[in-house]
A and B are shown apart, each in its own frame.
Chain A
């Protein structure tokens, strides 16, 4: 994969994550999660600009690449449109208009939920790789993204090592949430 494709994938993963977060912010009427969507949308502005520049460079350096660039640019527009839709959902929450009971009920029908946990210094997870702790097997919660120093790692792999201060965003059944949160903040050490 070239740089352009790598960046476009990051754009795609971020846009899907934003949709997930945006609907979750509605479910809990949670402005913190909604803010996260807005934060991500800002990082996408920058990423989009870089994609555009790289696309232009690539197209100018080799006319044979122009077709590929056009396809990727079309894909980029669609992805950005999805990201904007997610932002507009988060905006509803931030404006205080997400409290309609029907909204939460509609979102809740889904069989999974999203949980956020911050890894504390005395959490048993700190310093361990995902492949080692098998978090999904023990808690039912699948970590879809990990926020480290204001940057996101999407779909962390088996070798990704969890660090103190990481904010983990996981999807799973309602019953797994408390245990997951307890493992993160260190109040439950049993794995």
Chain B
């Protein structure tokens, strides 16, 4: 029998399996981008975030195993949950690899100048830019802008006067002179650059808002808008 006290060593057991898997999938994607970006920009700070996320995904993995085992009642449950747990393990494995990539930073910088030059040439681009004061993005949250849907570029990190925020949540506001690090295609980055430079007003994804109307996420961002 499991000691109920033992639960204290397991984090995140209050989350649902769906929430846990969503979190693991998102983390597994962002952590790889951040790992490469750490090397490209030689950022110790970003590398620390990668280590933190790797720890986090481990905790999520144990929590999802715990929840899945508890919820399995039938043979069909067990069959389907075995697939789900395999996906969770894969997400964890990706995070492990990202963590190893960041470990390359322990080598002195002069031994790896070519790494950042090489990564710069990658097909999947990681780029940094500054949001100009007259950009149409200023004052809006990432959730409102939905940059990935509009430009194909995902904002993986943002630096304001308060410091860096990695993998910014939807409620993070873009402010004048923020530095942003994005990931996407060259084409997408050029498109985003026009918006960030203020050369073109932001085109909001109106249809997207209607479609996501019923989700909790949307309800939250609507509330926020009411408050403003």
Task: List which B5-22 residues lie within 8 A (CB) of chain A.
Answer: 17-18, 21-22
Given A9-B118, A71-B112, CB of A155 within 8 Å of CB of B93: no
Residues of chain A with a CB closer than 8 A to B97's CB: 78-79, 81-82, 85
Chain A: interface size category:
35 or more
Tell me if A111 is interfacial: C-beta within 8 Å of chain B: yes
Tell me if A121 is interfacial: C-beta within 8 Å of chain B: no
Closest residue of chain B to A89 (Cβ to Cβ) is: B90
Q: Are B100 and A74 in contact (CB under 8 A)?
A: yes
Q: What are the 10 A-B residue pairs with the smallest beta carbon separation, nearest first?
A: A97-B83, A142-B152, A154-B123, A155-B123, A106-B21, A100-B80, A81-B97, A173-B149, A85-B93, A85-B90
Q: Which of B129-137, B174-182, B184-192 contacts A (4 or more CB under 8 A)?
A: B184-192
Residues of chain B with a CB closer than 8 A to A8's CB: 118
Q: How many pairs, one residue from A and one from B, have CB atoms within 8 Å of each other in the complex?
A: 164
Residues of chain A with a CB closer than 8 A to B94's CB: 19, 81-82, 85-86
Residues of chain B with a CB closer than 8 A to A174's CB: 208, 211
Main secondary structure of the interface of B (DSSP, over half): helix
Q: Are B123 and A102 in contact (CB under 8 A)?
A: no
Tell me if B165 is interfacial: C-beta within 8 Å of chain A: no
Closest CB in chain A relative to B212 CB, distance in Å: 8
Given contacts A111-B146, A142-B184, 13 further A-B contacts (CB under 8 A): A13-B122, A13-B124, A16-B124, A71-B115, A81-B94, A85-B94, A97-B79, A100-B84, A103-B87, A109-B26, A110-B26, A111-B208, A154-B124
Tell me if A191 is interfacial: C-beta within 8 Å of chain B: no
Q: Are A81 and B96 in contact (CB under 8 A)?
A: yes
The 0/1 profile, CB within 8 Å of B marked 1, for residues 17-53 of chain A is 1010011001000000000000000000000000000
Q: Are B152 and A171 in contact (CB under 8 A)?
A: yes
